[in-house]
Chain A
Amino acid sequence: MRNESAVLVQRRFFSRVLESGMLIIAVALGVGVSAAGFALLTHTMTYSKEILQSPALREITVSTRTSKDDMETPILEKAVSDTTILTSADLDSGELIPSVVYSYVSNQSRLHFLNQDSLDQQARFQEMAGPPPEDDETAQAPDQGSEQTSTNGHALEQTSTNDQVPAPPNPMGDRFAVSQEELDSAASQEDIVIVELDEISGYEVTPGFFDAWELQASAGSLFSASDMTGTASLVVLGSKLAETIAGSPEEVPELIGKKLLAREGLYTVVGVLEASDEAHSEIYFTPYQDSVAGSAGQFRRRFMDTQLIFSVDDPQNLNSASALLSDWFSSEFGDDQVIITNQREAAQRTIARNTGISVLILVLSLSGLLIACVNISNILMSRAIRMRKYTGILMALGSSQRGILKLYALEALAVSLLGSAIGSALAVPLSRSMQSSLDIGGNSVLYIMAGIILAGIVTFIFSVAPGYQNSRIIPAEAMRRI
């Protein structure tokens, strides 16, 4: 029902456009900044909690890399220890430690796909490089796949031996070249997929990896222990990667059993990970093999800095398990031959830093909100004092104190809602910017919304307080001011 007293407040509000506009801007700034601060802290805390729950932060990594910084860097670019070679057999050390629940090998690797683009690129490179010397043989790179088969079904000749030092990597990565005819022939075969990507990254892993990360296949299957010693090159794809290769989610199951043509060889797709696993959705996994068919595989291990991963049941056991592993590897290979590390301490330090910065930002933003609220309250108090005459008349005409409060609340609500709406437009980019500067991932929209609602409520309370105070006035008190 249309109410004349509400019309009165509405007209008074809009008749003071400048003052009302300033109020709304003040609310928008206060709400926007504080909501962003609130979202940053809450998101940092929950995101940190999630990160600490990650299986990666319950893991101990054992490697022969020369420094901790090299742990996640491509192997070809790094110096490696030539005295210590880790193999999957060393995972047995984990069985001696009660807190170790899973252990696996994980090595970064890459697949370079053969397609029309790569063929064109290869042709351009050969054109630039000129004709190869007659005695030059194609070098076999150390991290190459085990099954080397050309598209016409014949095994390629392996040119490297395990006694030779490999040639530096070809800038083209040209380990498994095909001719245009061979590519066309492969494209015509139903069981071969020509992937229109340049390259993809992934890991060579042992089956324990899938157990440690509790990964399941949505199509096909994961590796089993027998795949570690087999001769076939198998691959499990992340969900998004599989969608990209298949072309659509519906066609993903059809990839199972198909072979991907890569410079490293033909890789048979045996499984696709569930879509719920975001962390591994865009990478692939191949079975890790200590000793693969042919001399090249054995040769490879010498230059492969195998990373052994030991996952413990409780993060509190990380240090004790690390100490036990250190003792074991020292007894096996001698002192300082392997590096044992875990990411948890570094993650905790980063989390502590981010939380501290977020708290500081929240305190500053809340200070901003408080200053804005106090100013809004003062302006509205001044308005309410000017409205006191009207308050008295309205009471004389039959309004109760509650009715007066409703009118003031209407004005406060309008200011708070309009200000919060504008503030939300400020909060979203501000929060994302702060998140980005602290390198905090994830989506914080819900926290921003919660922050806006909370800040809006605080603003409303401050805005309605002057109205509440004025609604308590005795009508005659207001009438005397007439």
Chain B
Amino acid sequence: MIRLESIGKTYDLGETKVNALKDVSLEIARGEYIAIMGPSGSGKSTLMHIIGILDTSTTGKYLLEDYDITTLPDRERARIRNRHFGFIFQSFNLFTELSALENVMLPMSYAGTPFKQRHERAVELLHEVGLSHRMNHLPSMMSGGEQQRVAIARSLANDPDLILADEPTGNLPSDKGEEILAMIEKLNAQGVTIVMVTHNPVQAQRAKRTIHIQDGNLYSDVIAKKEAVHA
């Protein structure tokens, strides 16, 4: 589904240049459940941003379904993010001025879904994550776990092929974190590809594949307990 070829990312900070990613090559197949691990500043968030087309690489090639999207214009990149990817963030990132329902409906408005349809879809998604009774509540009225469930519902709004989760349980107590993780695993079981950044080795072990990043390099890529060590 996604193939990264020799991806490099350099941040130009004036006199100094920071190489956040160095010659990273990676393939993500449809239906995979990947955990990305690494210490702070290792480049795992940069990698996730590049996979999610939230950033561009300095070098290398990004192929989505064998189509090179490296040089696509902003509008096309936005369309791909909207139709194919869903994002779950550590701090939920819901819009505080919008209700749970409106937060879930928002990505569908970018897809051009008519109001009635997106309303129905949002109601259905919130029902799936167990928040039917919280639809018209503002995020400030909800617990962290509930907010993250709204965020999951939002990420599913346009039936994405890939969900990128950046430490989705990082701000939650363990029992709520477990609920969220279970939801993510359920989605993967339904065929949605998951790429999750985590610091938690226990959570990483539950993924089908674990990638370790260190100093911008792909340190290890473990698939079904088989370790492939990269130089």
Contact = CB atoms under 8 A, between A and B. Distances in A.
Interface string B46-68: 10010010111000000000000
A8 B55 CA distance: 25
Contact of A4 (B55, B83, B102): B102
A402 B106 contact: no
Contacts of B91: 482
Contact of B111 (A11, A390, A398): A398
B98 A8 contact: yes
Nearest to A477: B55
Contacts of A15: 97
B89 A482 contact: yes
Interface in A263-291: none
B208 to A, nearest CB: 25
A258 B77 CA distance: 86
B106 A396 contact: no
B154 interface: yes
A397 B106 contact: yes
Contacts of B46: 476
A396 B87 contact: yes
24 contacts: A1-B114, A3-B109, A4-B106, A5-B106, A7-B97, A8-B95, A8-B98, A11-B98, A15-B97, A393-B93, A395-B54, A396-B87, A397-B82, A397-B87, A397-B106, A397-B110, A397-B154, A398-B78, A398-B83, A400-B74, A400-B79, A401-B74, A401-B75, A482-B89
Contacts of A392: 54
B212 interface: no
A471 B203 CA distance: 36
B105 interface: yes
Interface in A389-415: 389-390, 392-403
B98 A7 contact: yes
Contact of A393 (B45, B95, B102, B115): B95
A3 B55 CA distance: 26
A118 to B, nearest CB: 76
A479 B95 contact: no
A8 B97 contact: yes
B152 to A, nearest CB: 14
A395 B110 CA distance: 10
A386 interface: no
A475 B154 CA distance: 18
Nearest to B107: A397
Contacts of A402: 74-75
A398 B110 contact: yes
B176 interface: no
Contacts of A5: 106, 109-110
A124 interface: no
A396 B107 CA distance: 9
Contact of B115 (A2, A395, A401): A2
A476 B82 CA distance: 15
Interface residues of B, number: 34
A293 interface: no
Given A475-B81, A479-B54, 13 more contacts: A3-B109, A7-B97, A8-B106, A11-B98, A397-B154, A398-B78, A398-B158, A399-B110, A400-B74, A400-B78, A403-B110, A475-B49, A480-B45
A401 B75 CA distance: 7
B66 to A, nearest CB: 23
A12 B106 CA distance: 16
Contacts of B56: 474
Contacts of A1: 109, 114-115
B217 to A, nearest CB: 20
A477 B114 CA distance: 31
Q: Which of B45, B81, B103, B110 has the most CB of A within 10 A?
A: B110
Interface string B29-55: 000000000000000011001001011
Contacts of A476: 46, 49, 54-55
B174 to A, nearest CB: 23
A474 B55 contact: yes
Contacts of A390: 95
A200 B81 CA distance: 82
Nearest to B113: A1
Contacts of B93: 389, 393, 482
A9 to B, nearest CB: 9
Interface string A4-23: 11011001100100000000
List the 5 shortest-distance A-B pairs measured between CB atoms, nearest first.
A398-B82, A476-B55, A398-B110, A400-B78, A476-B49
Nearest to A480: B45
Interface string B114-144: 1100000000000000000000000000000
A226 to B, nearest CB: 83
Nearest to A11: B97
A397 B109 CA distance: 10
With a 10 A CB-CB cut-off, give which of A3, A393, A474, A480 has the most chain B CB atoms.
A393
A295 B52 CA distance: 109
A7 B89 CA distance: 23
Contacts of B103: 4
A188 B89 CA distance: 99
Contact of B102 (A7, A401, A474): A7
Contacts of A389: 93
Given A396-B87, A401-B74, A475 B110 contact: no
A3 B106 CA distance: 8
Nearest to B155: A397
B22 to A, nearest CB: 18
A382 to B, nearest CB: 18
Nearest to B80: A398
Contacts of B105: 4
A4 B95 CA distance: 10
Contacts of B97: 7-8, 11-12, 15
Nearest to B95: A8
A17 B27 CA distance: 50
Interface string B5-17: 0000000000000
Contact of B81 (A2, A3, A395, A401): A395
B110 to A, nearest CB: 4
A422 B67 CA distance: 53
Contacts of A11: 97-98
B78 A399 contact: yes
A150 B105 CA distance: 93
Nearest to A476: B55
Interface in A432-482: 474-477, 479-480, 482
